[in-house]
Amino acid sequence: MAYEQPIIIKKVKKHEHAHHGGAWKIAYADFVTAMMAFFLLLWLISMTTPEQKQGLADYFAPPNVSESTSGSGGVLGGTALDDSDVKKAGSSPLTKQEAPVPPGTTDQGSVSMSTGGKGEDTGDQDAAIGAARQSLKSQFNQDFHAAAASIRQAWQAMPDISDVTDNLLVQETPQGLNIQLIDQDGRRMFPEGSKYPFEATRKAIAAVAPILQKLPNQIAISGHTAAGGTYANPHYGAWELSMDRANVVRQILGEFGLADDHVASVTGKATTEPFFPNDPYLAANERVEITVLYEAPPVPPDMQP
């Protein structure tokens, strides 16, 4: 009996491969975008001056941290005024200070810091004045650190000016504490061609006045314009506009507590000192600067030693 050979049928199921999507394209696009942003950042950093970098760093500093070491975020850095109001007057008592011992000697001599009297020679007077100025500037540095922190705190506590906080800069310069109201593309501090600021700008200026009043230093206010501006009145241009804006800022500061004797100068500088010298046409060159000067206020004649 013949056996039939069984027929074996194999069924092979073929599985289709999953469809490859475009996720890699998205990742690549993100990478290219990040690289573009990185190189743009490098370019912007290379175009800014050290003063502008310091201003940006100060702006992004935590507003609730005082840079002073006194433990106080107040304007005077936690130091108290004595009965003679020495600090408030911006002067330093000229008494006596131990002089450094010259090489080769062991005597610890002292030099009188008084600048009056016939017995003092010119060398001692110059040394005394230099030491007094250095001590005064060191004290001002502490006050300026605390004042800058107070100004930033005041601005950040005002939701009404949140749209212009990027236009407000506070930085310490060799001249003193510099407060700047700077225009940006699409976000101006003053209407074009007008000497009167927007309401948010006015509120930001008003918040600064009480803080500046507590400092003994003199204040210089200067207005600046960007190049390329057009003016309808042929007799009214960049010089007049920059001067008028600086004077309006002075008036607002005075309205909210800054005494007139705190103001040393109000000037209009037109386009002569651009914020970005490489591109005087940028909107950021249009600004008003309030500078708290390092120099002490003038001493009345009847208070001269």
Mean pLDDT on 184-198: 92
Q: With the CA atoms of 97, 293, 57 and 51 taken in that order, what torsion angle do they form, in degrees rounded to the nearest 10?
A: -100
pLDDT in the model for residue 170: 94
Which of residues 201 and 185 earns the better pLDDT score?
Answer: 201
Q: What is the pLDDT of residues 21-60, one digit of tens each?
A: 678 888 889 899 999 999 988 888 888 887 777 777 777 7
CA within 13 Å, CB half, 274: 15
Rounded average pLDDT over 118-144 = 62
Phi and psi at residue 291, to the nearest 5° = -110, 120
Interhelix angle 122-156/199-213, rounded to 10 degrees, is 140
Most confident of 59-73, 173-187, 213-227: 213-227
Residue with the bigger pLDDT between 51 and 181: it is 181
Q: Please state, for a pLDDT cut of 90, what percent of the chain lies above it.
A: 44
How many C-beta atoms lie closer than 10 Å to residue 225's C-beta? 25
User: Among residues 51, 49, 54, which one has the least CA distance to residue 67?
Assistant: 54
3-state secondary structure at position 122: helix
Band (10; pLDDT cuts 50, 70, 90): confident
Fold of 50-87+141-303: 60s Ribosomal Protein L30; Chain: A; (3.30.1330)
Query: What's the confidence (pLDDT) of residue 132?
Result: 55
70 near 78, Cβ under 8 Å?
yes
Which amino acid is present at 101? Answer: V
**Mean pLDDT on 158-187:** 90
| Average pLDDT of the residues of the chain | 77
Give me the phi and psi of 143, to 5 degrees please.
-65, -40
Residue 182 in contact with residue 274, Cβ under 8 Å? Answer: no
Report CA dihedral (271, 274, 280, 283) to the nearest 10 degrees: -100
Inter-CA distances, 84 with 87, 88, 289, 299, Å: 8, 9, 33, 14
From the list 166, 176, 254, 174, the residue with the least C-alpha distance to 208 is 254
- Confidence at residue 174, expressed as pLDDT on a 0 to 100 scale: 84
Mean pLDDT of 249-269: 96
Tens of pLDDT, residues 80-122: 444 444 444 444 444 444 444 445 444 454 444 444 444 445 5
pLDDT category of residue 305 using cuts at 50, 70 and 90 = very low
pLDDT of residue 131: 58
The mean-pLDDT minimum among 18-22, 94-98, 127-131, 259-263 falls in 94-98
- List strand residue ranges (DSSP E) for 137-217, in order: 168-173, 176-182
The one-letter amino acid code at 72 reads S
Q: Which residue, among 205, 218, 51, has the nearest Cα to 140 in the 3D structure?
A: 218
- pLDDT tier at 71 (50, 70, 90 boundaries)? very low
pLDDT at 91: 42
pLDDT for 262: 94
Token pair for residue 164?
A: 């212009």
Helix (H) or strand (E) holding 224: strand 219-224
